[in-house]
Amino acid sequence: MIIYNILAFIALVVFISIWIALDTEAIRNIDSFGEQLFGGNSFLEFFHYLGETWFVVIVGVILVAYFIAKKRYRKMTFVLFTFIGGTIINQGLKFLIERPRPIIPDQLTSYSFPSGHSMLSMLYMMTTAFLITSGMSKTKKRIAFFVAGLGTFLVGLSRVAGSRHFMSDVLGGWSLGFAFFMLVVYWYMRTRKKA
């Protein structure tokens, strides 16, 4: 059980470190490297659709409806925690930090850090992989988490490819999303043992 707390703590430390260092030369170098490596990549940019609000909502509604139908109410609560809680945390931090987005024509008007696409894709993909593979073999679990990880990776990079976010926004979204996911996993495993 303690491993979930350790992983959440490490991810949270990474997020806070990026946040504190946003105005440093090190972060500017990371952002510049990300832009040079991924900027303008139309293949990567396509994957932003997997992190759009409408897509995340559809996945969430399907999962909630499925778990209600199966009377798996703890799993339903897990979905609500990660989807709704993650959104509230992300938007709250955006307004707290108020980091502007990269300067491009027709840029989005919302704040940049942490990336919502990166954080929420981490949450919904990992949540889906975790919940649907319950009781499956280790091989199937590994495959599911690999697909979830790859999807999260591509969605995050799509935001840099389209110049909607800096690379540090994406790294912040990934780390915070993973930290929150692991905390919800800890809650889920702890309550399962008590049930």
As annotated, the active-site residues are: 117, 165
**Residue 5: which of 194, 185, 192 has the closest Cα?**
185
* CA–CA gap between residue 21 and residue 142 (Å, rounded): 34
* CA–CA gap between residue 175 and residue 58 (Å, rounded): 24
* CA–CA gap between residue 99 and residue 21 (Å, rounded): 12
Cα separation of the two ends of the chain:
16
CB 18 within 8 A of CB 27: yes
Identity at 119, one-letter amino acid code: M
CB 4 within 8 A of CB 182: yes
* CA–CA gap between residue 96 and residue 90 (Å, rounded): 10
